[in-house]
């Protein structure tokens, strides 16, 4: 691990910044490759288990791998732009917002696993990715680069931006 002195208040180590897009690619590759076919195979189970979400289940199950991959590519492009901006400018708030939104997304998959009662694509990569995010969050906290108010504001704004972006992507995709 990095010695605490390496993380100056003005700059985050490149490893923390660029680990986020790497984690995103690994996680979304698993989702793009395996989730559409899993949803197709488990559509009836999900419809029975969650009858109020039957329409959404049908729309999600009809999403092709290529369309899912296009949606993930847009999210990756946004994440890469924000990470490059943070790397160049040392303005880390947008990056922190997306980092916290991604960690929340991963945690959400674990909640989905508990609710659905079956392991599904996205959970497998969420577990190690969430562990790495936990390590990253620990490094950020001990660095004291951000205070609690900044974590809360960035976390809420990142979740809102990610949710709106995801809603827009699904609207464009027709799911």
**Nearest-angstrom CA–CA distance, 164 and 143:** 31
**Nearest-angstrom CA–CA distance, 110 and 106:** 7
What is the tens place of the pLDDT at every residue in 27-56? Answer: 999 998 898 888 888 888 988 888 888 888
According to the model, what pLDDT value does residue 13 have?
A: 83
Share of the chain above pLDDT 90, in %: 56
| DSSP for the chain, written as a single string | ---GGGS-TT---HHHHHHHHHHHHHHHHHHHHHHHHHHHHHHHHHHHH-GGGHHHHHHHHT--HHHHHHHHHHHHHHHHHHHHHHHHH---HHHHHHHHHHHHHHHHHHHHHHHH-S--TTHHHHHHHHHHHHHHHHHHHHHTSS-HHHHHHHHHHHHHHHHHHHHHHHHHHT-
Above 60 in pLDDT, residue 108? Answer: yes
**Nearest-angstrom CA–CA distance, 65 and 73:** 12
Q: How confident is the model at residue 11 (pLDDT cuts 50, 70, 90)?
A: low
pLDDT mean over 1-6: 40
According to the model, what pLDDT value does residue 7 have?
A: 45
Above 80 in pLDDT, residue 106? Answer: yes
- CA angle in degrees (0–180, nearest 5) for 47-38-159: 80
Above 60 in pLDDT, residue 5? Answer: no
What is the tens place of the pLDDT at every residue in 62-104? Answer: 878 888 888 899 999 999 999 999 999 999 999 999 999 999 9
According to the model, what pLDDT value does residue 10 have?
A: 53
Q: How confident is the model at residue 57 (pLDDT cuts 50, 70, 90)?
A: confident
């Amino acid at each position: 691990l990095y010695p605490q002195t390496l993380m100056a208040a003005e700059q985050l180590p490149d490893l923390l910044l660029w680990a986020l897009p790497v984690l995103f690619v690994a996680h979304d590759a698993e989702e793009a490759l395996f989730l559409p076919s899993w949803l197709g195979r488990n559509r009836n189970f999900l419809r029975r288990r969650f009858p109020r979400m039957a329409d959404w289940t049908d729309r999600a199950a009809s999403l092709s791998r290529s369309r899912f991959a296009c949606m993930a590519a847009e999210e990756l492009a946004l994440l890469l732009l924000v990470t490059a901006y943070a790397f160049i400018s040392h303005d880390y708030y947008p990056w922190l917002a997306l980092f916290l939104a991604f960690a929340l997304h991963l945690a959400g998959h674990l909640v989905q696993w508990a609710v659905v009662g079956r392991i599904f694509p996205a959970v497998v990569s969420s577990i190690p990715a969430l562990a790495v995010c936990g390590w990253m969050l620990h490094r950020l906290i001990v660095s004291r680069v951000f205070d609690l108010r900044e974590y809360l504001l960035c976390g809420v704004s990142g979740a809102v931006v990610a949710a709106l972006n995801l809603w827009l992507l699904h609207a464009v995709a027709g799911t």
